[in-house]
Chain A
């Protein structure tokens, strides 16, 4: 078995490293923790931040699942929010209170006085992340690690990161070849070619992030929203001035796939070059950049993102597992450029053995990317109070109106459907309309709606109907409850989302 380098060796010349995960459970946090451990075992000082938590990463159904907390050595600088720091961090001193605000509170830079777990959620825009990185570097740390989110590439923009580490894993497909294919697709951004010719480079420097079209000697300025709004027919007339000229389209902002599609007819005549600032501006989902290149539409970037390493989690929850060695090898072979592919928990990985401690590794070795949940007393209190209220309402209605069995149990039906509607309303609202307030979810969702509605009573009612030989009634009641409950959640969610669009 060949020995592979450690993450630290691979990233030796990078002072700013961004980690992104291609999906949940790809082991991004494990990779982050591994690099932290290796660097700190070699006496390097660290700064850590993350791209702010966004809606998808946060689960309103299960408030106990949180932003993964990261085990940090003493002396580490962290850029996170004040409430998270207060709630989760070991002893620390706040160095800077920034004026950056996130849904989770004000971002501060703090120094940890002791080692320990810390929930880290920094700002969400790349400019702000950049500012945090520079702030920590200016305070003397040797390197800064950014825990990027799932599938978020913004922080991998070259000015921010010296290297990007991408986490992939068995969750992306059932077999090795599926994981390799899904990973390769996700990597097309990392393999977009940089602009080589000096003329285009000069042109881009002069354009200073504005969009323009260069046809031989002619340079035509384009409106700023050009790439997003252009119609294929307009594009055709714009480019259709002469054959034999290779048009160069400099795009100031985002390059959507619709633009590349619109260029395909022209690509059949002569090659078209589309130049984006950096790979994170290129949004290609259905095909690959290579696919468009072969059809005469070539995408290039002014600044390239360096793919520092790929980490692989061969474990798929709940119990699946692929062969780690073979998976790493297959992914390595599928990448055009030689990039180290590592399973940091695999048998052939040689990192610092002393860190993270075996106990921490065990936590991570579980199926989930998320470490042991943090439960607060106030949260339990909220669940208890909500549960008490829900139970009182339901029991009160049953006592007042009777349970109805063995005929149609109106009370259970009504509380279940109303409760499902309310839960859909609360969760969608709290999940998708930040800022979130701390204890509303456990109080209203887990506590009140959870307790107001009941599953067990419904099953016993169904049993009684079946005993009485009323099979038709049982089927109608069971299916009717599920249909109405499902529709309730659906309607409540749609309602909240519509209000949000309008408001």
Chain B
């Protein structure tokens, strides 16, 4: 493990976080804030791309940098949970279950689709 590789992980991790912030900003300022669509968009797109990387059998350091660092940082579990919990706290059971179910189902579907497309290359 070279120092350079870990510097790469840090830099790309930071870039992933910025990408999440950017897409989330655009989506949530355009579509209001009743439902956390920003996080959904980030997570689904990230799952799709990571699926694609798995599909083309990216491995080793390349996977560490592109997958674990960039896409791992880009997608987020904690914000998903926070937004779900806040919906629950506000008594919006419908929004809560929609948020959990939609993210889980569409996220898994996107990862599978990305992998299938990657595998066809």
Q: Which residues of A contact B (CB under 8 A)?
A: 24-25, 59, 61-62, 64-65, 317-318, 366-368, 370, 372-373, 375, 380, 383-392, 394-396, 398-399, 416, 419-420, 422-424, 427, 442, 446-447, 449-460, 462-463, 478, 481-482, 485-486, 488-490, 493
Contact = CB atoms under 8 A, between A and B. Distances in A.
Contacts of A456: 43, 46-47, 49-51, 67, 71-72, 74-75, 107, 111
Given A391-B10, A450-B79, A459 B16 contact: no
Given A61-B83, A451-B16, A395 B111 contact: no
Given A451-B16, A456-B74, 15 more contacts: A61-B79, A317-B33, A388-B17, A391-B13, A392-B6, A394-B68, A399-B64, A424-B82, A451-B13, A451-B76, A456-B51, A456-B107, A462-B111, A463-B115, A490-B85
Contacts of B75: 454-457
Contact of A416 (B25, B78, B100): B78
A388 B13 CA distance: 5
Interface residues of B, number: 64
Interface in B8-60: 9-18, 20-21, 24-25, 28-35, 37-38, 43, 46-47, 49-51, 54
A62 B84 contact: no
Interface of B: 1, 6, 9-18, 20-21, 24-25, 28-35, 37-38, 43, 46-47, 49-51, 54, 64, 67-69, 71-86, 88-89, 100, 103-104, 107-108, 110-112, 115
Contacts of A65: 28-29, 33
Quick one: which of A390, A396, A459 has the most chain B CB within 10 A? A459
12 contacts: A317-B31, A317-B33, A367-B32, A391-B16, A392-B6, A395-B72, A450-B20, A457-B71, A460-B111, A482-B84, A482-B100, A485-B78
A457 B64 contact: no
A387 B88 CA distance: 27
B10 A460 contact: no
Contacts of B46: 455-456
A482 B73 contact: no
A459 B74 CA distance: 14
Contacts of B111: 456, 459-460, 462-463
A389 B16 CA distance: 12
Nearest to B13: A391
Contacts of A61: 79, 82-83, 86
B84 to A, nearest CB: 6
A396 B10 CA distance: 10
Contacts of B104: 478, 482
A386 B17 contact: yes
B78 A453 contact: yes
B9 A459 contact: no
Contacts of A25: 32
Q: Among the interface residues B30, B81, B86, which one has the most CB atoms of the partner chain A within 10 A?
A: B81
A489 B82 contact: yes
Nearest first, the 6 A-B pairs at minimum CB distance are A391-B13, A387-B17, A317-B32, A451-B73, A453-B77, A384-B14
Contacts of A391: 9-10, 12-14, 16-17, 68-69, 72-73
A370 B31 CA distance: 11
A380 B18 contact: yes
A446 B21 contact: yes
A481 B88 CA distance: 17
A469 B68 CA distance: 25
Contacts of A367: 30-32
A493 B31 CA distance: 27
Nearest to B42: A455
B51 A459 contact: yes
Contact of A420 (B72, B82, B107): B82
